[in-house]
Amino acid sequence: MRSLVDDVKDRTDIVEFISGYLKLTPAGSNFRGLCPFHKEKTPSFMVSREKQIFHCFGCAKGGDIITFAEEMEGLEFKEALKMLAEKAGLDPSKYQGMRSSALSDGRGSRKEILFRILESTTLFFENALQSIEGKEAYDYYISRGLKPETIKQFRLGYSPRKNNNGFPTALFDNLKSQGFSPEEILESGSVFQYQSGNSRLFMDRFKGRAIFPIFDSLGRPVGFSARVLPGDTTTQGKYVNTPQTLLYDKGSLLYGFHLAKPFIREEGEVILLEGNLDVVLSHQVGVNQAVATCGTALSKKHLQFLRRYTKRVVLAFDGDMAGVKATKRGAELAWEDELDVKVISLKVGTDVADIAKEDPEKWKRKARKSKSVLGYFFDLAFKKRILSLDQKKSLADRLIKMIAKVPSEVEKSHFVRKLSEEVQVPENFLFEKLKKEQKSTVESVNQNIGAENTPLNQEKGRKFLLEERIVGLIFNYPKLYFVLRERMQNVYFKSPEIFSIWKEVKKFLKGLDDKSLEKVKSGDFKFESRNLELEASKIAIKIEKEMELTNEDDLEEQKKELLYCLDNLLEENLQEEKRVLVNLIKTAEKQGDKMELKRLFEELNAFNQKIKDGKNKS
């Protein structure tokens, strides 16, 4: 029976799938692009349609379409496989090993149960919004400028204050009636527990609040942000969020990302806002690449996630002091990842939600007219201000520190000249200050990265490289195995990794019938071990890139290369055995064993002849 992995790969074009995340351009028989997993300026990320794999020659990340989905979407293997299967029109439940797993009662894994609870919770809040009690929250959404279709699109809701008996457990009771246990409901984060005497009681966390569901990148609810309604006198904060759970990690999630994702790719940028309503209203007026953090400051984790989708980040935070500080911190974090950072300037006391509600076209214009981070801070520092000498000195020092962190040398040079004009100090003096600041920054970065500067791959011995090349050539051009069948059957690999791959290659090729022999290509290989198949594919794409040979009909060059590698590997193995023999001879000489010496010298002469014959053949 075919596996789901095989069917997913057969039905899904890896080039088409990865092109949905990043720009790929043809490179021979493969495709090339900038790696989404590490910083680079020259593309080293390769995708092979025939082999159905990707590999980065810069950071060594690689794998098949399932690996890529795991890495890009932060999924586990089964989640990625299920997502791809559904995209390909396959039913995962019909395949052995993909039926509801993990628990003996067949209810699914812990994560699967939590996803079901959170989907049921979202539906409960949506339905509650349509109730008489929910009208207050609905009216609040409408008063903020939201349209009914936008409320539906973002699945906004309301959390009831009480159940029919007057207890604050409306959600808890609903979930329990669906068969979820108190422990599972508690783990979802939407209720909390407390002790009353000897009893353990449960209470809804978000009661009486407007609900903004938070989704993962695939559009599955993982948590909630609950806003207090106008006129509510609660002593709790304006917003209450889901606590950290198995599914909800506020340090990595971005509100609205599941809807913004295709527009981020299309626009080539992401706009980062402060609040949920800012995002919702931005999408409503057509600024669809907008997202926001979930009740936490913008972090390196957020930016590393976003750089997989775009290299440009636009910050649109409030114009107050806190917003300005957040903009500076966010820009400096983004510069560390060599991202292109822009800013949308907002006046103090105005937020995006208000602008988008009152004048949608104005917000759309602002979104199109972002400015450089340094341009934004220069405007704050110098526009419409008369400065004293001490103020100019202080501002110059602070701005030089910022300029030093900008990745673009052109931008640095431009703003040093601009700073020179503003503070009336010679450029060469400011460039000297910049050099000192950059030296200090580099030293600091080097201390932080420490061991990260070690090479990705330790230097491999010549024998391993020869073995790797032989396997890579056969995997790329399987017909060579049959052209040189006798030599290939006798080849011996000492590397356990290469030997394991070679066993799978031989097993597959020996199982082919005569018709298949004529048509077999590298993309046809099927191993019992997916991991070994991926390792073989990585080796193959590396060899293909090194040799730059693509014509499978003309195998003469590939055959010459293979024979060269086979001859040299044979010589390497013989030389190694000869070294062992020479050591044995030395031992026999020390012991004075003449009979053993005679036998060993005869064996040595035979070895020398073997090596000589091998050289004459080549």
Give 10-residue mean pLDDT values along the chain (618 residues): 83 92 88 89 90 89 92 88 90 68 53 94 98 96 97 97 89 96 96 86 94 95 95 83 93 94 92 96 97 92 90 92 92 91 91 94 95 92 81 89 90 91 88 83 49 42 88 88 85 88 88 74 79 86 73 72 88 82 84 82 76 58
The pLDDT value recorded for residue 448 is 46
Task: Kindly state the tokens that stand for 347.
Answer: 């006046």
Q: Which of 207, 243, 244, 246 is nearest to 227 (CA)?
A: 207
Question: Alpha helix locations (H) across 74-201?
Answer: 77-87, 110-129, 135-143, 148-153, 170-177, 182-187
Q: Which of 66, 74, 29 is nearest to 47 (CA)?
A: 29
Whether 224 and 211 have beta carbons less than 8 Å apart is answered as yes
The pTM for the full model equals 0.74
Q: Are residues 364 and 389 in the same domain?
A: no
Contacts 24+ apart (CB under 8 A), 571-574: 571/611, 571/614, 571/615, 572/462, 572/463, 572/466, 573/463, 573/492, 573/494, 574/607, 574/610, 574/611, 574/614
Q: Are residues 289 and 414 in the same domain?
A: no
Domain finish residue from 241, 272, 306 = 241
The pLDDT value recorded for residue 325 is 92
Q: How many domains does the chain have?
A: 5
The pLDDT value recorded for residue 576 is 82
Residue 448 lies in a domain: no
The pLDDT value recorded for residue 455 is 39
The pLDDT value recorded for residue 520 is 78
The pLDDT value recorded for residue 117 is 97
The pLDDT value recorded for residue 525 is 82
Q: Are residues 365 and 484 in the same domain?
A: no
The pLDDT value recorded for residue 588 is 81
Angle between helices 409-423 and 373-382 (to 10 degrees): 10
Residue 452 lies in a domain: no
Q: Please give the full DSSP string across 324-366, using - where no structure is assigned.
A: HHHHHHHHHHHHHTT-EEEE----TT--HHHHHHH-HHHHHHH
Domain finish residue from 212, 241, 270 = 241
Residue 411 lies in a domain: yes
Domain finish residue from 338, 369, 400 = 369
The pLDDT value recorded for residue 617 is 54
Q: Are residues 469 and 588 in the same domain?
A: yes
> What CATH number does residue 15 fall under?
3.90.580.10
Q: Are residues 300 and 328 in the same domain?
A: yes
DSSP 166: S
Q: Are residues 166 and 134 in the same domain?
A: yes
Residue 486 lies in a domain: yes
Residue 446 lies in a domain: no
Q: Are residues 509 and 423 in the same domain?
A: no
Q: Are residues 469 and 609 in the same domain?
A: yes
Q: Which of 525, 455, 519 is nearest to 53 (CA)?
A: 525
Q: How many CB atoms lie within 10 A of CB 321?
A: 9
> What CATH number does residue 208 fall under?
3.90.980.10
Q: Are residues 269 and 346 in the same domain?
A: yes
Residue for token pair 């526009």: 383
Residue 120 lies in a domain: yes
Cross-strand bridge partners of residue 279:
none
Q: Are residues 124 and 174 in the same domain?
A: yes
Whether 480 and 558 have beta carbons less than 8 Å apart is answered as yes
The alpha carbons of the chain give a radius of gyration, in whole angstroms, of: 32
Q: Which of 238, 6, 35, 41 is nearest to 140 (CA)?
A: 238
Residue 457 lies in a domain: no
Q: Are residues 226 and 309 in the same domain?
A: no
The pLDDT value recorded for residue 98 is 58
Q: Provide the residue range defining the domain that includes 427.
A: 378-436
Q: Are residues 603 and 475 in the same domain?
A: yes
The pLDDT value recorded for residue 187 is 96
Q: Which of 14, 5, 1 is nearest to 53 (CA)?
A: 14
Residue 526 lies in a domain: yes
